[in-house]
Structure 1
């Protein structure tokens, strides 16, 4: 019975999240567009507008997960059991963040997005223990969607933090905005390297690559940021290549050496 309740809650949670996110820009909530609010802050760790289209991929993947986990054959799937109620929690943080953002409650947004990030980290950690035994369906419909979501939440949390600090009046002194952005990009590459060494997760790194290319495009008027973003993107592309090589069977790796 508890499993059935959880599976229903997962479906209801993603439907509610998608509806709230859609209405945020259709209405829009509080008369403000999500992207317009972000663009009102002159922070550098923000990618070009097209990069945010990744939300379509994220919600497609999460919807596929919700349908998959609701199938009777998945009632005893250990990967789904590992996730537990963390997915419902992540949807709650996501939806609450939308309202806080649109009503310009920026200190609250950082609390909520950290809650979202922690929820996704918990899901990722739980799934890590069953990743090696995952079926093809589990890899594409459970592991990959959450890797993509966690990758984007990582980028979004950093961006959200820079906006909250700017709104609070902090301008980065004694360092400039551009220098701080370079530091944040370095942190992003370090996270990608950590994930590569621990999980060989191509999907997670692919999201960071997508975001950093977008930052280079958006911040073309600031050479230091643009060049750093390009270098960071190249570094992550190399990490993705490393992850691909490490994912190959031992025999094929030896043949390539």
Structure 2
């Protein structure tokens, strides 16, 4: 078996690994609690309303599209897939392992694993040159968009995972209130969005942030500072996206 075929099979098997573990985590559920129940058990505010997590369905559909596309014999020597395939396998392994750590209360290891997942997605994103190069219509939906959406969500999820861990460890936030920290995190998210808007003008990535920030507002509708801040953050990201599309540079 040559290296290209091994890469294709690796992506298939690791994608199935991630899907099976995520499905089992909520169907069984793993260790007696589903993933959302564990998230809700932490006293943290940087968590959106439950419906927002339905984005995982879109992420997995997109990941399956990539997996099927990269498995085609005609794509065996595709340079973009060669550059990303092994990293995609790493993201799926990290995704599945994160589920195990999260469900069994190994929250420090869950954050480490989430950071591995984030780093691997960044490598994929940079190697694909998303926002810097053109893709065919087919590859937009099977290669580019999946990782724009995935990276956008894991950007938010990493911040949420970190706040959950700090809550679990009993960190007092240096005396800063939970509401203030959440406002800071929203500001950080908008800052990341600004960088992505003016360096990549990536619609998929930025719309995921809008989805997440608006979801924080919905969850905390009874808490005016967060309700207003979440919508403000979502609105700012939309404005950044619009501005970046107006002045986006030509792509090769």
Q: Does the TM-score normalized on the shorter chain lie above 0.5?
A: yes
Structure 2: which 5+ residue stretches go unaligned? Answer: none
Q: Could you list the per-position Cα deviations for residues 38-76 of structure 1 after superposition, in whole angstroms to 9, with x for gaps in the alignment? A: 101121100000000000000000000000011111122
Aligned to 1:123: 124
Query: Where in structure 1 do 4 or more consecutive aligned residues deviate above 3 Å?
Result: 246-250
Structure 1 residue 248 displacement after superposition: 8.7
- Alignment of 1:25 with 2:23, yes or no, is no
1:221 aligned residue? 222
User: Partners in 1 of 2:169 and 2:221 — Cα distance?
Assistant: 26
Q: Which runs of 5+ in 1 are unaligned?
A: 251-257
CA contact (8 A) 2:183 2:226 kept: yes
- Does residue 102 (structure 1) correspond to residue 103 (structure 2)? The answer is yes
**Normalised by the size of structure 1, how large is the TM-score?**
0.93
Displacement of 1:242: 2.0
Contact 1:212 1:229 in 2 (8 A): yes
TM-score by length of 2: 0.95
RMSD (CA atoms) = 1.6
Give, in whole Å, the separation in 1 of the partners of 2:192 and 2:67. 28
Q: Equivalent residue of 1:173, what SS?
A: helix
**Equivalent residue for 2:194?**
193
Contact between 2:130 and 2:202, CA under 8 Å: does it hold in 1?
A: no
Quote the offset at 1:247 in angstroms.
4.9
Q: Give the whole-Å Cα distance in 2 for the aligned partners of 1:214 and 1:57.
A: 16
CA displacement at 1:12 relative to structure 2? 1.0
* Distance in 2 separating the partners of 1:201 and 1:106: 31
Asked if 2 retains the 8 angstrom alpha-carbon contact of 1:110 and 1:161, the reply is yes
Partner of 1:114 in structure 2? 115
For the residue of structure 2 that corresponds to 1:126, the secondary structure is helix
Deviations 1:20-52 (A, max 9, x none): 100001001111111001101121100000000
1:183 aligns with 184
